[in-house]
Structure 1
C-alpha cells in the first residue's frame, strides 16, 4: 500500500475514532441513566423477576438450576470481580508499569480504577436499592444492590487493563484476543451475580453501562494526555 494512502487512512481513523468513542460513552451513559431513573422511581420490573425465576428451580427458589458443580464454578468465577482480586490484579499491573519506567501511566491507571470504585460506591449509597428478596442469596452480601459493584468494577478494571495491554501489542490478533478476554470476563462476572441471586438483572446491566462508559472515558483522557507528553507511550522505556 502506498505510504500516502496508508497515511490518509490513519488520519481518518484518528479523526473518526474519538467521535465513535464519545458516541459509545453517551449511549452507555444514556442506558445507565434510563435504568437508574426507573429504579429511583420504584418501578417494579417483570423482567428482573422473570430472569431470577428462570435461574431457579420453580419448586424451590433457593435451588439454582444446573448441577452442583455449576454453582461451585460460578461462585469461583464471581470471585474474579471481588475487591480483593481486582485490587491485587491492579497492583500487579501498577508494579509492572513502575518497573518498566512508566510511572505516569501507572498513576493514571490507579486514578482510573480507584475513581471507578469510588463512583459506584457513592451511587450505591445515593440510590440505596435493596438486594433481591425473591430468591435466596448463594453468597454473602452486605451493601446495596444498584448498580452491581462486581459488574461495574470488573468492566472498569478488565477493560482498562485490557486496552493497556493491547496497546503494547503490534499484531491485531493479539489485540483482539486481549480485548476479547477482558469483555468476556466482564460479562461472565456480571451474569454470575444474577445467577447467585444477589443482584437484579437491571443492577448488572446498569453496572455494565456505567463501567464501560467510565473505562472508555478514561481511554480517551489517557490518549489525550499521551499526545501532550503527560503519559508515556507504549514504546517508551526508561533508560536502564
Structure 2
C-alpha cells in the first residue's frame, strides 16, 4: 500500500480546484512529480506543493493500492476525487463542492461535512460523509440529463436540498433528515432517509424512496397502494409522481 499524505497549508481565502487529487493521478508519480501537479487557485494556476505539504510512504502495484490522506480543513478545496476509478481518499476535515463527482470506483471518506454536488453524476464506488451534506448530493450538474447512476453515498448527518436529483441508479442513505425535494426527477436507484423528509419524490418516474421518519408536506400526486413490510417494519406504499407520464416511482413511508 502506498500512502500519500497531503497536509493543508493554505488559508482558504480563495477556492481551489483540485481535480488532480485522485489515486489515478498519483499512482505512477514520485513525490516530486505529485508536488508539481497543477491546481487552480481562483483563475491562477499553482503547483500542488503551494497548497499542501506532501509525504509518501510505501509502494503500490496499481491504483487500488493507493491511499490519499488529506489533513486539515479542506472546506475551500473543490473536486477532490473527481473521476477516480479506484483506490481510497480520506479527508480528515470538511470538504468543498463536487467531491467525488463522476467517480467510477474506489472509496472516499469525509470525516467532516461535505458541500454541494458531492457524488455529482457518480457511476460507481463509495462515498461516506460522517457529518452533514449540502445540496444536490448525488445529482446531475446544471443542465445534465442524469445524476448519479451507480455506487453508494452514505450521509451520517443531515442532507440538504434536492438530494439525488435526476438520480437513475445507485443508492443514497441518510442517517438523519433530508431537506426539501429529495429524489426530484428521479428515474431509478434507491434513497433511504432514516429521519424526516420534506416533499420527497417530486416529478419522480422510477426508483424507490424510503422514509423512516415523518414526511412533511407529502405531495398529493402520489397514489396509496397499501402496506408493505420492509426489514420487519410496516410501511405505507405510494406510487408516483402521477403528475408525470408513465410514473412508476415508489415512495415508502413508515406506518405510524
Give the structure-2-normalised TM-score: 0.22
Bigger strand share: 2
Q: Which structure's relative contact order is higher, taking Cα pairs within 8 Å and 6+ residues apart?
A: 1
Give the structure-1-normalised TM-score: 0.23
